[in-house]
Amino acid sequence: MAPDMRGRVEMASMAAAEMSHFEILQEALAARGVDVYESIAAYTPVLEKYHSSTVPSSWHESLVKAYVGDGLAADFYMEIAGTLPKDAEAVVRTVMAETGHSEFAVAAIREAVAADPALSSPLTLWGRRLLGEAITQTQYVLAGQEALTELLFSVEADLNQIVDFFGSIQDRHAQRMADMGLG
């Protein structure tokens, strides 16, 4: 959907960085005797559901999805990093130390909204939809993956801990939306 070569290159650069992250994680799992594809098989339907229900209809929506999606993924990984064994935590933190490849979207959305203020409301709603769908899919995963839920939330976890988890993700989402100049 990119209208020009700059946009195509920026999206391709983001994809290349994400592939590099995948390869680091794949290597770390292989070193533990774990096949990455078998590990993610249980989550593939949820990811496909998220992406099939949030197909952008414009370049601007693609930019918002890239930035918001990148941030939501980072939020989730950082939330679980501290619950992992130290060696696994180090791998996650190494991958997360090299983020920000979606930052190009911030300037592009700010410029687009400055040129056409009517874009602000629909893109704000789009950003909220992305967050809502991500939370919905995360709740499905947590409901169906007891081991993951126990990893994120201690056995003694109470409802407040779960509310805090989603609250912190919503707070960071609100900051990302503000960074793009969206409500």
* Residue pLDDT, tens place only, 123-143: 999 999 999 999 888 887 777
Residue 181, SS3 per DSSP: coil
The pLDDT tens digits for 138-179 are 887 777 776 666 666 655 555 666 778 788 889 999 999 999
On whether the CB atoms of residues 64 and 127 are closer than 8 A, the answer is yes
**What residue type is 171 in one-letter code?**
D
Q: pLDDT by residue (tens digit) across 68-95? A: 988 888 888 887 787 788 888 888 888 8
Cα 60 to Cα 56: distance, rounded to the nearest angstrom = 8
Q: According to the CATH classification, is domain 5-179 in 1.20.1260.10?
A: yes
Strands (E) in the chain, as ranges, are none
User: 83: which DSSP letter?
Assistant: T
What ranges in 82-183 are assigned the alpha helix state H?
Answer: 86-97, 104-115, 120-144, 146-152, 159-179
The token duo for 69 is 């999606």
Q: What is the pLDDT of residues 17-55, one digit of tens each?
A: 999 989 999 999 999 999 999 988 988 888 899 999 999
Residue 57 exposed, middle or buried by CB count within 10 Å (0-12, 13-18, 19+): exposed
Could you tell me if 133 and 53 are in contact, meaning their C-beta atoms sit under 8 angstroms apart?
yes
**Span between the terminal Cα atoms of the chain, in Å:** 24
Nearest to residue 149, comparing CAs of 162, 137, 164? 162
